[in-house]
Amino acid sequence: MVWIISKPDRSGAIRHAGMYRDPEGRTRSAGVFASERAARSAARGAEERVRRQEWIDPGAGKITFAEYAEHIWLPSRHLEVTTRAGYASYLRNHFVPYFGRLQLGKISPSAIQGWVSHALDQGLSPRSIAKYHTMLHSIFARAVRDRLIAFNPCADTELPKVVTRRARTLTPAEFDAILSEIPERFRPLVLTGIETGLRWGELIALRPRHIDFLRRAITVEETIVEVSRKDSPTGQRMIVKPYPKDDEPRTLTVSQGLLDALAARIATLGLARDDLLFPSREMAHGEPLSRATFNTRYWRPAVQRAGIDFPARMHDLRHAHASWLLAGGADLKAVMERMGHAQIMTTQKYLHTLPDADQRALAAFEAIRTRR
């Protein structure tokens, strides 16, 4: 039921307030109008939104973006350590400086579009902007579900086009050139990377107990994630997780040559079963090796000295591993399991990535066509 309260304003003119009750039974005003008819119409509209459970408290959207995102949205998410740390970093570096003091209800689609332009001006790539926008969209979607705002201002943002470039894959000759420039103490690490295709966190989490010398296999049971102490929920920079990304240990067959190199390393360092195989220092009971430290001090200088004509990353050993397997005729499903991919489409992107793949494909075609 709606009702009208009519009072004179300072000029003496009669003004009419349309009144209704919100979902909790509290008296609310739908606004003050010059005519009783307009006031009653506004009050009935608000009452109908209450009935349809579409009513939004006009004062709810006054919470600031920073307060909502950092103290309500992020703590409520069930996330892995690295994902949570990443979100906290995105908020601190990209969103809170831009939106932090603004009230949620006053952030418009134009404001979101303005952030996109600002991010481009700051040098962020279209791919990064798209990734960050996905998170921003999630924050406002939750605010809509919490009935703090009526709509998601990220719904129709125009994002810069992401141009997908064909990945450059290390050839065996290029890998050998890099390996020859890697300091001796890190060569077993790099050899393990190319032969297993492990992610960095899985690689530095390997321990002697994960190696089965009799069956010539390595089992991936742990991963180590590296996060900023500012964003770490535990305050630790290196966090050991009991299972890799897909939550299931996987076992990979490796060559006798790699096993011999790892056995020599274990013996030289005097490593126990539970010590890290590739610690930050050449000693037993060492700390996990930092990706940034390894890249800066050892990997990038080696790539430069080897004369590689593209900025090859340590992670590119994983790409090269999959590409070489497929180029050599390995079964796609087997490569998927070896890489720890959840979907076979992820593995398929490594097909035909070596420079001579097209020539070899044509040679295979001609061999069949001319066969009598």
Are the CB atoms for 73 and 148 separated by under 8 Å?
no
Q: Tell whether 34 and 49 lie within a shared domain.
A: yes
Q: Which CATH number belongs to the domain containing residue 35 in this structure?
A: 3.30.730
- Residue 296's domain is classified under what CATH number? 1.10.443.10
Alpha helices by DSSP H, the chain: 36-51, 65-68, 74-76, 81-90, 96-99, 109-121, 126-145, 172-181, 187-196, 200-204, 256-269, 291-294, 300-306, 316-327, 332-339, 344-348, 357-369
Please give the backbone phi and psi of residue 18, each rounded to the nearest 5 degrees, phi first. Answer: -85, 120
Whether 197 and 273 map to the same domain: the answer is yes
Rounded Cα–Cα distance for residues 100 and 82 (Å)? 23
* Residue partners of 172: CB distance under 8 A and separation at least 6: 324
State the Cα–Cα distance between residues 45 and 31, nearest whole angstrom: 11
Domain count of the fold of the chain: 3
The answer to whether 189 touches 168, Cβ cutoff 8 Å, is no
Reading the chain (372 residues) residue by residue, the pLDDT tens digits are 888 889 988 888 899 998 888 877 888 888 889 999 999 998 888 888 778 877 777 766 788 999 999 999 998 888 877 788 889 989 999 999 999 999 998 999 999 999 999 999 999 999 999 999 999 999 999 998 888 888 899 999 999 998 877 778 899 999 999 999 999 999 999 999 999 999 999 999 999 999 999 999 999 998 888 877 776 666 677 888 776 555 678 899 999 999 999 999 999 989 999 999 999 887 667 789 999 999 999 999 999 999 998 899 999 999 888 888 888 778 888 888 888 887 878 777 777 666 666 566 556 556 655 665
Cα–Cα nearest to 315, from 345, 337, 339, 342:
339
Residues 26 and 98 in one domain: no
101 lies in the same domain as 200: no
**Residues 225 and 290 occupy one common structural domain:** yes
| Residue among 126, 136, 60 at smallest CA distance from 98 | 136
202: domain range? 172-310
Rounded-to-integer distance, Cα 222 and Cα 208, Å: 13
For residues 233 and 117, membership in a common domain is answered with: no
The pTM score is 0.71
Give the separation between CA 148 and CA 152, rounded to whole angstroms: 11
**CA atoms of 251 and 74, how far apart (whole Å):** 35
